[in-house]
Every structure is written in structure tokens, then in C-alpha cells.
Structure 1
Amino acid sequence: MAASTNAHYKLPVVRNEPNLSYAPGSKERQALQDAIAELESAAPFDVPAFVGGKEVRLDTERSSQPMPHNKKQDLCTFAASTPDLASEAIKHALAAQPEWESMPFNDRAAIFLRAADLISTKYRAKICAATMLGQGKNVWQAEIDAAAELIDFFRFGAAQVEQLYTQQPTENSSGTWNRVEYRPLEGFVFAVTPFNFTAISGNLVGAPALVGNVLVWKPSPMATYSSWLVLQILLEAGLPKNVIQFLPTPNGDATISLVDRVLDHRMFAGLHFTGSTHVFRHLWKKIGNNIDKYLSYPRVVGETGGKNFQLVHPSADVRAAAIGAIRGAFEYQGQKCSALSRLYVAKSLWDGDFKETLLSEVAKISQGSVSEFQHFMGPVISQASYDKCLSYVEKAKQAGGEVLAGGSGDDSTGFFVQPTVILTKDPLSPTMTDEIFGPVLTVYVYEDAKFEETCSLIDTTTTYALTGCIFSNDRAATVKATALLRYSAGNYYINDKSTGAVVGQQPFGGARGSGTNDKAGSPSFFTRWANPRSIKETFVPPTDFAYPSNLV
């Protein structure tokens, strides 16, 4: 039996986790190199399902998660979770909910604060190494994702839920007390997580759990090992074993049958999703078609694709805009939802120094194994991604585009696509409208006098509205563009690249075809996973039904 307390606890003040530099000769560099070597030598790991508080190893067909930089070596293997196992997972999750939601918030928060500290210290090198080897990130991209951002999600999440719980009615009639309790959703949350950010995977299960929800987690098959490691860290931090059920599953028929079983359940209460727009819309349709089956109306929260833009005004600083474009387009091989893929440059700048600056800097980019720290770029995630990138280069050529840099790749050992810059005269060509999710940047040069028309073009070219940026030193032009592009991006940057949202600083999410724009990394995000109940208590109830106006 738990001991009660009358204390109202105050969480520690949270700050964004500092990024380590991994400079040559540093302790963190050596620790990371050791972790990479250790994982490589021990791979492939056997990743089980985790259901009912136990590791479950099925006899179903096994799948693998290859290392994208070395496709012949697997980081892990896993068996396909079955629909029957999903049903078992749901049963255990629902059985765990009463105890989990009744656990005092300070105790739930302590689990995630401890997990953050474990990632910051004991597991930092290992989780970065797992993300590098399994998801193809270089050291810096792994550090800002699997370490710093995941830590921030857990620490700021606890603080933001504390802030949510303090939001109470300000008015009380005489003799009454009004208050609001923030219950979890009635049922379970289904988390479908992506390959490209370990931090996003952790937050997709962590955010609903912080407010008392139980979850069934289907990780991306291309991030199975790092997802499994996140769960192990949470369990070590004290998370009760049945709060999160873990169902690794390959893409294809196995996923379809498992998802169908989950979404058919009466107690399905919410979907937390990051992935492709096509898949998200497909899941939403399934949920809509099942609406009569559910006890409640499920919450649907999703962040999907992007076709993100950078607008360069004639007044812009040329070098700043060029470097912003390179980082926005080619960090992590363009595999960020926020990655830049559409670059609009004023003709006076393009004909001046911009083209030369952009191409000369792109030519300096090196590419190679993630264990070789000198490289700015690594591989794309899979053969399918590699093939898609190069197919779009061919589509661009067929549409009259000119390849100014890159345009080819090498998949002999890993999935390496060169940083590619395409110049198009058609602003609606395939590489300007379709999401590619790779290191392919298309440039459209506009006439200086058509700046406002170009803003309208940007706004109407695609259905996506995730991120965008403008480089300009003309304040009036900046104000004008910001107004014209008001609904073109959920995250908008002025004189900065289109990527790099930081928890607690720039809450992340887009609208239109890019998702539900619920802003991960902000206090409002947690309202989506809470089920409030208003409580009015009257201390001295009336004893007569008549109103004063009834008196004569």
C-alpha cells in the first residue's frame, strides 16, 4: 500500500541539454567510438516483442534491420509480431491502466526525469551509436537527436504536464469549489513511430504515458534497435512493465494485419503517429470507418511529410542563405521531415554570387561510413529510398531540369546518394512538388520584381505546410512574405535554415498535408492526451427548490 503525502511537489527547473562536441581527443569521442565498435562486433542483436511485462520471441518469419552504411551487416533481427500478439498486448495494457493512472504525478514524472539522466550519462554513447549504425546518422546528428532532443522531451514533458495540471478555474461562486482533473484517455494509445528520429519515437510513447496513458508501440522496422533501447532505459528508470507494449513488425502484410487488429478494438483511444502522409491518411480512414466500434472518439495526432521551402530575397546575405540551404537540405541526407527541398532565389543573387557559393560549398561535402567522424553526410536509410532519390533525378531531367551537382549514387556497400542540386525552370516540376525524403534540392530562380508572386507560388505548389524559411535583410519584404506565407508552414524561420526545432523553444508541427499541427515540445501538446473532468463541489447545498423571484 502506497504511503500518502500532503506535499505539493515542484519539479526541478529544466534546461535544454547541452550538445557535446565530440572533438578529437575528448572523452565523449572515445566513449562513442568504443560504443560503436562494441555494437558492431556484437551485432546482430535479437530484439523481442515485449508483451505482458515479458520478452516474447515468436517463431514467425524473421526480419532484419541492416546498417545503411554497410548493408551486408544487420544491426538486429526480429520476428514479425502477429495480430494475436497485438490482442494480448492490448489486454495487458488495459489491465495496467488503473494502477498507472492512479500513480501520483510526481512518481510518473520521476521515471521520465531519471530516464533523461540515464540517457545523459550512462546510455549517451550507446544510444547515439545505435542511432548512427541503425539509422545512418553522423555523430552530430545522432547527438542532437538520440541524446539532447530525447532528454529534452522527457524533462520538458514532465515540466509541461506539471504546468497543465495547474490550469484550474479562476472563479468560484460563494460556497463552491471548482476544479479540473486531467484524466488519461479511456482505453489505450497506439504509437506508430518513424525511423528518422530516435527522439520522436521516444516522445510518441513518452508524452501520452506521462499523463497516465498506456500504449501499444509499433516501431519503424528501420529503427527497431534504438527503439528497443529506449524502452529498456524507461524500464530501468522504473516504468511499470505493462505501461508500454512493444510490437516490432516489418513493413508489408504483417504490419497491415497487426494494425487492423489494433484499430478494430473497442478500447482504441488514440493514434500517435509520425511517418508518411499516405500512411497517416490511410490509418485515419480506417479509424473513421470503425467509429461505431469505439467507446470514445479516438484522438488522432500525426506529423507527416513536408516539401519545405527557402525563399531568398534580393537583400539577403548570400553566404548565410547558401549555407542555410546546404544544412537544411543535406543534414542527415535530407531525411528530416523539415528538410529543405525547394529553394527560390532572386535572379540578381543567382546571377551574382549565389550559384557559385552554393555549388562550391556543396562540392566540399564528404560522404562515408558513420564511424568516420569527418563526414558531413552518410547513407540514406534503405535500398527503396536510394532508388527513389535517383528516380526523381531522372524525372527532373525528363522535365527539363539541369543537374548542377550530384545526381548519382553508390549502393555497392551502403545506400549513398550524392548531395544533389537541380535547377528547374518549371516551378511545378516533380522535384518541386513531390516529397522525396533524400538529399535532392531543386532551385527555382525568380525575377526580383516578382517577389510577391513567388510567395503565392510557394504557398500553392504543394499541399504540405511543415517548415519554411526566408533570408532577407529588407524588413518590409520580410513582413510581407511572413504574411503571404502565413499558412505555408507550421515552423517558419527568418534568416535561419528550415530545420532544427528545439524542444521548449520552437514547438514542432505542420498543418495541411503535413499533419495535425499539435506542436510537440509545448504544453498544449499534452492536452491531446488528457481527458479532463470538471468537478464542482458545493459545501452547503440549497434546501428549497424555489427561486427568490418566486416569492410574492
Structure 2
Amino acid sequence: MTIVDHTHTGRSALAAVPTDLLIDGTWRAASDSARMDVINPATEQVITQVADASLVDVQAAVAAAVKAQASWAATAPRARSEILYRAYEEMMRRQDDLALIMTSEMGKPFAEAKGEVAYAAEFFRWFAEEAVRIDGGFSQRPDGTARTMVLRQPVGPCLLLTPWNFPAAMGSRKMGPAIAAGCTMVLKPAPQTPLTSLALAQILQDVGLPKGVLNVVTTSRAAEVIEPVLTGGDIRKLSFTGSTAVGKILLAQAAQQVVRCSMELGGNAPFIVLADADMDVAVEAAMQAKMRNMGEACTAANRMFVHSSVVDEFASRLAERMGALKVGNGMDDGVQVGPMIDAASRDKVLRLAEDAIQRGARVAGGGNASGGTGFFVEPTVLTDVQPGSDLLSAEIFGPVAAIQTFETVDEVLAIANDTEWGLVGYVITQDVDLAFEMSERLEVGMVGLNTGLVSTPSAPFGGIKHSGLGREGGRLGIEEFLDVKYIAMPIRERGRA
């Protein structure tokens, strides 16, 4: 097997990653011996191959999760907590190796990948702490005839479907609460980025997670294998991060067995700069909200609304900052912007930008594909973006900032809320009252006030409308993996022997 990379360290890290399926504690080949390529988007070369699971393999993984559920649910919360603590510590110990793996298969710059590993590890630490705080309730009925107890118990075997853009963090954000709650899992990572998930699975094995609790199936045949599993009756919880279109399909399939669902779907985030904004804060927040992960994030600022009185300064400063970013292979020193995940993603971003330009948008900076090998797009700032441009309704998922102007708060809120999505919105203002008004009126699940970063393990991440159901992270994150059981106990007549 040929491994293509730029450094000995990278080759070593990649070579150590398991490339088979993890089922019932054993690494095994796909039942039909199928393999699939993993491509480095910066070089367009094959890094390695991993097992390509069939339906038979995925069903075996589900059976293993079902078999392990009762004993895992009965495991002491402290024992589950300590496994997660050890996983956190081991991720941090292997931070460089995990970052190299992620950069190789996904393309993000090494420094950003290393930051994601730390962020991902924090989900294990956060849910290690939540594992020992699962509580219930005890009360008396108002009429005094009975006592009421409320228990929280693991929902059961879970199917976890993760995307390619944050392969470490999206895995730990789902596995962490499932492990803490006492649920077994089948994890199916995106086919573009399976190696990070396989490396995380190895770490969890190394720190003592019992066999069958986590099963990992890498596959390019999701359409063939997921529906039979969701409709088979053994999976009791689905947690999915991905596109709204795929999420709707999965919801329909899950409905047949009334599978409990958490959905973190697409976004169309408005980034609103009010007339009184501190321009240093506005530009810095815009860089965070737009350029994190090369713009390949559901939280990325998709539509920038800037008050007409400050738009010229904002656009010129943003174009200068974005234009100064170094584009290239994320393994190279100083690179700040890596490639898009594949050719289709690159072409989509370029098409959306070109459509806006054809409709009258002005290029304030960038606007081209980087030449040569790799799926690169130059960071681009477009001003005077016209209504009807495709990038105002489609999720850009790339390094293109689309700027429109507005005059009044009511006007910009009406436009910002005129979308089926409702994941996150950003507001830049120095007026505290206006900040709260905007936050309350934006139809989103999260708001960044004077910041372009909202993601943290300690807060509930998620959206409304077509952006999803449920929350990940924070104290609510573990609730998604717990069922509530109520027990009624009649009160005997007092004074009886």
C-alpha cells in the first residue's frame, strides 16, 4: 500500500491508522473485501485505502452494539467518565499525529487541524464530567396520593453519521455523550475522511472502551446500507450532521421505527454589521466566521449584511485581510487556506461566485481558482451582491464572502430571516440593547455577538427550521442520548402498620 505525504512524521502517523472495520472489538476486512480510496485534496493523490463496508458488515456492527448495550448501560457512571478522561488525555498526547492525519485526508492547514484536535478532545473531557451528573427527580403528587420518581436511562444503540469537514470534532461531539450516557454506537464517518475516525476509535480501544460499545464502518455505499439499518428496529437513536437534503431523507427513514433523531443540518448564516460597529471587531469576526475551515463549515457566514455607511471600509479591510492569506497544501509551513474537499466542491464554489458576478456583483478581491494540482479556491470578497444570486440561497461552503448593504434594522432582519435555514447568525454592534433585540429577533438557534466563533463543547450547538433538531454539547448534549422514565408509587395511608 502506497502512502503519499510530504514528511516522515506524516507517513508514520498515517501508517499507524487502522484501515479495516471495527466490529465487536475486532478490526476486520469488509465481507466482500471491497476497499475505497482516500484522497489528499491538496495533491489529488491516493493516501491509502480503507475497507468499504457492505450491508452485511453494517448489520454485524449493529448486532454487536445491541449485544453490548445491556452491560454497557449497567457500567458505573464513574467508569464511563474515566474512559472519556483517558481518551481526552490520549488525544492531546497524540495531537500532532491526529492533526497530520486530518490535514492529509481533509486538507485544512496543520495549525488549524491541531486546533480541531484540541477542540474535539474537549468534548470527551466535557462529557466525562457530565457522565457522573445524570440525575432524575422525586416529588409528591399534588393530591398527596402518590410519589413520583423520574429516571434518565440510556436510549440504546445509536447510529452516528459524521461529515468530512470536522472529522475529529464531529466524531467526539457524538461519541462523547453517547459513551457518557451508556449507549452503544455504530459510527459511519464520511467516505472522504475516514482515517481520523478510525484513529479516534483506536484511541478509545486503547483507553479501555469495552468491545462492541463502539463499532466503526467506513463505506461508500451509504444509500444501500443506512435505510435497512434505520428501519430494522435495533437502532434507537440517530445522530446526523450533514446537508438538509440528506437529513430529510434520513428523518423519513427513521420515522418508520420512530427512531429518536438529532439533526445538525445546513446553514445560511447572516453576518450583520451595524452602523456603530467597531470595525476592528467586525473584520476580525468576519474572518473567523467566513474563513474558519476554508469556509467549509455550516456555521460559516454565508450572507454579509453591512450598513451602507460603513460598507466601503469594511469591504476594503476584509478584502485586504483575505487577500493576504497564504493558500496551499496544509502540510506546508505558513499555509492558512487549504483546498476544498474535492473537485465538485471547488467547482460549486467557483460557479456560485461567477453567477453573482454575472448578476452585477463587484470583485473586491480574489475570485479565481488557484492553478495546478489540488482543489484550491482563492479567498474572494464580492460586494454589491444582487438579490437572486444563487450564493444567497445556497450554502457556499467555501472562501467567498458575499456582501450586501442595508439601511434599517427592520429591513436587515426581514432579509436575514427570509430563509428556510436557521442555524446561526452574527451581529456586530456596540449598542447593548440593540444587540439583544437583534439576538431575540433573528430566527436561528445560535447568535454570535461581536464574535465569529460560537462553537464550544460547553454550549448547546444546533439550529431551528431546516437547520436541524436537537442540540449537541453543553448540558443539553447528553439529554439527546437519555430516555426519561417516570415511576408512580402510591402512598400508603399514614399510621398503618
Verify: 1:206 aligned to 2:179, yes or no: no
The answer as to 2:492 corresponding to 1:492 is no
Matched letter for residue 98 of structure 1:
A
**SS across alignment from 2:476:** helix
Distance in 1 between the 2:239 and 2:128 partners? 18
**Residues 440 and 209 of structure 1: is their aligned pair in 2 closer, same or farther, counting only changes over 3 Å?**
same
Equivalent residue letter for 1:102: A
Tell me how far apart the structure 2 counterparts of residues 359 and 141 of structure 1 sit (CA, whole Å): 21
* Contact 2:13–2:100, Cα closer than 8 Å, also in 1: no
Cα distance change on mapping 1:35 and 1:426 into 2, 3 Å = closer
From 60, 83, 95, the equivalent of 1:124 is: 95
1:323 aligns with 2:284: yes
Q: 1:373 aligns with which of 330, 333, 356?
A: 333
Q: Secondary structure at the match of 1:348?
A: coil
Count the aligned residue pairs: 488
| 1:484 Cα deviation after fit | 2.7
Which residue number corresponds to residue 23 of structure 1? none
SS in 1 for 2:45: strand
CA distance in 2, matches of 1:217, 1:354: 43
Aligned to 1:261: 228
For residues 286 and 20 of structure 2, the distance between their equivalents in structure 1, rounded to whole angstroms, comes to: 41
1:72 lines up with 2:42 in the alignment: no
Please give the residue correspondences for 1:355-366 in structure 2 after superposition, counting only pairs within 5 Å.
Answer: 355-366=315-326
Aligned to 1:509, the other structure's residue is in SS state coil
Give the SS at the match of 1:410: coil
Q: In structure 2, what residue type is equivalent to 1:51?
A: I
Contact 2:135/2:152 (CA < 8 Å) preserved in 1? Answer: no
Say whether the 8 Å CA contact 1:216–1:247 is kept in structure 2. Answer: yes
Counterpart-to-counterpart distance in 2, 1:160 and 1:387: 43
- 1:106 paired with 2:60, answer no
Q: Distance in 2 between matches of 1:493 and 1:153?
A: 20
- Within 2, Cα distance between the matches of 1:117 and 1:125? 13
The 8 Å contact of residues 46 and 77 in structure 1, kept in 2 or not, is answered as: no
* Paired residue secondary structure (1:268): coil
Task: Give secondary structure in 1 for the equivalent of 2:224.
Answer: helix
Q: Which moved more, 1:370-379 or 1:103-112?
A: 370-379
C-alpha deviation, 1:117, in angstroms: 1.1
Amino acid at match of 1:459: N
Task: Give the conservation status (yes or no) of the 8 Å contact 2:315–2:364.
Answer: no
**Structure 1 residues 540 and 446: CA distance shift in structure 2, 3 A:** closer
C-alpha contact (below 8 Å) 2:271/2:301 kept by paired residues: yes
Larger displacement relative to structure 2 (94-103 or 520-529):
520-529
Instruction: Check conservation: 1:470, 1:495, Cα contact below 8 A.
Output: yes
Aligned-partner Cα distance in 1 for 2:372–2:138: 63
Task: Tell me how far apart the structure 1 counterparts of residues 385 and 372 of structure 2 sit (CA, whole Å).
Answer: 34
Q: 1:334 aligns with which of 283, 286, 295?
A: 295
1:482 aligned partner: 439
Structure ID, larger Rg: 1
Which residue in 1 is equivalent to 2:377?
A: 417
Give the secondary-structure state (helix, strand or coil) at the position aligned to 1:421.
strand
Moved more, 279-288 or 154-163: 154-163
Q: Is the 8 A contact 1:49 1:247 kept in 2?
A: yes
Q: CA deviation at 1:139?
A: 3.0
Structure-2 change in CA distance of 1:315 and 1:42 (3 Å): closer
Query: In the alignment, what sits opposite 1:157?
Result: 127
Distance across 1 between alignment mates of 2:423 and 2:270:
9
Deviation at 1:420, TM superposition (A): 1.2
For 1:477 and 1:532, locate their aligned partners in 2 and report how far apart those are by CA, in whole Å. 39
The Cα shift of 1:280 comes to 0.6
* Local SS of the residue matching 1:524: coil
Which consecutive aligned stretches of 4+ in structure 1 deviate over 4 angstroms post-superposition? 41-46, 170-178, 536-544
Contact 1:306 1:464 in 2 (8 A): yes
Give the alignment partner of residue 94 of structure 1, picking from 45, 60, 66: 66
The separation in 2 between residues aligned to 1:192 and 1:201, in whole angstroms, is: 8
The one-letter amino acid paired with 1:220 is A
Is the Cα–Cα contact under 8 Å of residues 81 and 249 in structure 1 kept in the other structure?
Answer: yes
Partner amino acid for 1:256? A
Aligned to 2:421: 464
Quote how far apart the aligned CAs of 1:41 are.
5.8
What do the CA deviations read for 1:81-129 (whole angstroms, capped 9, x no partner)? 11111222222211111111111111111111111111122x1221122
**8 Å contact 2:105–2:193 — kept in the other structure?**
yes
Counterpart of 1:434, as a letter, is A
* Cα drift, residue 135 of structure 1: 1.5
- Taking a change above 3 Å as real, the CA distance of residues 338 and 95 of structure 1, as seen in their structure-2 partners, is same
Shift in Å, 1:233: 0.6
How do residues 40-79 of structure 1 correspond to structure 2 at under 5 angstroms?
A: 40=11, 43=14, 47-58=19-30, 59-74=32-47, 76-79=48-51
The answer to whether the 8 A contact 1:214-1:243 is kept is: yes
Distance 1:89 1:412, change over 3 A: same
What is the distance in 2 between the residues matched to 1:425 and 1:275? 27
Given that 1:97 and 1:214 are in contact with CA atoms closer than 8 Å, whether structure 2 keeps it comes out as yes
How many Å separate the matches in 1 of 2:326 and 2:370?
14
The residue that corresponds to 1:386 in the other structure is 346
Letter of the 1:249 partner, please give it: T
Q: Residues 160 and 36 of structure 1: is their aligned pair in 2 closer, same or farther, counting only changes over 3 Å? A: farther
- Structure 1 position 428, deviation (Å): 3.8
Per the TM alignment, residue 386 of structure 1 is displaced from its structure 2 partner at its CA by: 0.9
Aligned AA for 2:237?
G
* Equivalent residues in 2 for 1:414-453, closer than 5 Å: 414-447=374-407, 450-453=408-411
Q: Distance in 1 between matches of 2:131 and 2:352?
A: 43
Aligned partners of 1:65 and 1:222 also within 8 Å: yes
Unaligned runs of 5+ in 2: none
Deviations 1:30-72, CA, capped at 9 Å, x for gaps: xxxx996323367576610111221111344321111122212
C-alpha displacement of 1:425? 4.3
CA contact (8 A) 1:150 1:200 kept: yes
CA distance in structure 1 between the aligned counterparts of 2:495 and 2:454, rounded to whole angstroms: 62
SS at match of 2:97: helix
The Cα offsets for residues 411-453 of structure 1, whole Å up to 9 and x where unpaired, read as 6321111111112342342111111211111000223xx2321
TM-aligned CA deviation for residue 192 of structure 1? 0.5
1:84 maps to 56
**Partner Cα separation in structure 1 for residue 70 and residue 164 of structure 2:** 32
1:178-193, aligned counterparts within 5 Å? 178-186=148-156, 188-193=157-162
Shift of the 418–469 alpha-carbon distance from structure 1 to 2, 3 Å rule, reads: same
Distance 1:224 1:437 in 2: 20
Residues 270, 424 of structure 2: 8 Å contact kept = yes
Query: Does the Cα contact within 8 Å between 2:150 and 2:484 map onto a contact in 1?
Result: yes
Distance in 2 between residues matched to 1:480 and 1:302, nearest whole Å = 27
Across the aligned residues of Structure 1 and Structure 2, the Cα RMSD in angstroms comes to 2.4
Distance 2:466 2:297 in 1: 16
Choose from 378, 403, 413 the match for 1:455. 413
1:192 partner amino acid: L
* Unpaired runs of at least 5, structure 1: 1-33, 545-552
Q: Distance in 2 between matches of 1:401 and 1:192?
A: 37
Contact kept, 8 Å, 2:447 with 2:454, in 1: the verdict is: no
